[in-house]
Amino acid sequence: MLSQTLRQALNEQINHEMYSSYLYLSMAAYCESRNFPGFAHWMKIQSREETEHAMKIYDFIHNRNASVTLLAINQPPGDFKSPLAMFELALEHERKISNLINKLYELAVKENDYPTQIMLEWFITEQVEEEKTALGIVEQLKLVGDSPVSLLMIDRQLGTRSNS
């Protein structure tokens, strides 16, 4: 059975994951408005992935015979200085989410809640991948600077991301 403290923390993490989804959807909208369909495609897939993360926690809470309490989702920023600034924000956000997941894991260890620890191990591994991917894109964008041709090449590359 989930403790009240852990249940509340997991409900808060659902909110963080849904905010992540909303943030990436906002980034997709920005990209669409700037004629970067590849960046937009990448961000829409990322948004859907974040919703899936929230649902993993949602299902886990219900599987543990506890209740989900949905919290209000904050409005994300809608304008970004550049694709680089947008991806730097995405990287910063993923690092914040990693920290939140790590704190959740620490709480599960403190409470000797082994099922929650096991579930959170998936998220810890996922966050390593999320940070690596965002950092890689940031580094590429730093390399190309403001070169329109290079930005279009990266846009095209990101547009090939599959839904898996």
pLDDT tens-place string over residues 45-57: 999 999 999 999 9
Contact 28, 159 (CB under 8 A): no
pLDDT at 1: 86
Q: What digits encode the pLDDT tens for the residues 84-134? A: 999 999 999 999 999 999 999 999 999 999 999 999 999 999 999 999 999
What is d(CA 34, CA 44) in angstroms, rounded to the nearest whole number?
A: 15
Burial of 135 (0-12, 13-18, 19+ CB in 10 A): middle
Which residue ranges make up each domain of the chain? 4-158
What radius of gyration do the chain's Cα atoms show?
Answer: 17
Pick the CATH number of 4-158 from 3.90.1150.10, 3.40.50.300, 1.20.1260.10, 1.10.3720.10: 1.20.1260.10
Contact 45, 11 (CB under 8 A): no
Give, in order, the Cα–Cα distances in Å from 25 to each of 34, 114, 131, 148, 149: 14, 34, 18, 24, 25
What is d(CA 59, CA 119) in angstroms, rounded to the nearest whole number?
A: 11
Q: What digits encode the pLDDT tens for the residues 111-123? A: 999 999 999 999 9
pLDDT at 123: 98
Q: pLDDT band at residue 164, thresholds of 50, 70 and 90?
A: low
What is d(CA 55, CA 126) in angstroms, rounded to the nearest whole number?
A: 15
What is d(CA 164, CA 151) in angstroms, rounded to the nearest whole number?
A: 24
Assigned token pair, 83: 């694709």
Confidence (pTM): 0.95
pLDDT at 163: 80
